[in-house]
Amino acid sequence: MPNDRLRGKKVAVLATDGFEQVELEKPVEALKEAGAEVEVVSPHGGQIQGFNHFDKGRMVPVDRTLAQADADDYDAIVLPGGVINPDQLRLVPQAIEFVRAFFEASKPIAAICHGPWTLINAEAVEGKRMTSWPSLEVDLENAGAEWVDEEVVVDNGLVTSRKPDDLPAFCATMIEEFAAGPH
């Protein structure tokens, strides 16, 4: 059922080829149902390739390239997982700067599964309590985060979850934090 919790809010979903299909599509669907304007932002235009774990999934159109995107134009950002997606994004300086701009402006950030990898490179995890796919535990701790194994964790506008099974809690909490605005 549509609602207006996020009416007037514009949300970036930063992803590239190799994103986990449901970790992009379910949050986008939830955000749109809450009234947000959502744009998929990627290093390249056209379409990006989704994955269902190890198998190729559907292509998703890119709304705006990183070169065309300005973090100041968005109220919040979503970082979907999938192993390939965030690993590629961490090597794109424009992607790291884009994510860092949200962190520095205290805008809400939602990252699921492997998505927090990008936050490490953006230097946005030190002192944060968060979760992720289990294989990122040591990476996050080495970057100064407190890693916990919980369905969804919120730390001052940063929403993190572990895996696709956590999507219902992740999406609900993401909407709450995005509605609250900057922290």
- Give residue-wise pLDDT tens across range 19-67: 999 999 999 999 999 999 999 999 999 999 999 989 999 999 999 999 9
Active site residue 171: no
- Which pLDDT score is estimated for 52? 95
Q: In CATH, what is the architecture of 10-180?
A: 3-Layer(aba) Sandwich (3.40)
What is the overall mean pLDDT for the chain? 96
Catalytic residue among 44, 53, 113, 171: 113
Active site residue 183: no
Catalytic residue among 44, 53, 114, 171: 114
- Which pLDDT score is estimated for 6? 97
| Per-domain boundaries in the chain | 10-180
- Give residue-wise pLDDT tens across range 54-90: 999 999 999 999 999 999 999 999 999 999 999 999 9
The Cα-based distances of 150 to 2, 132, 166 in angstroms read 28, 9, 9
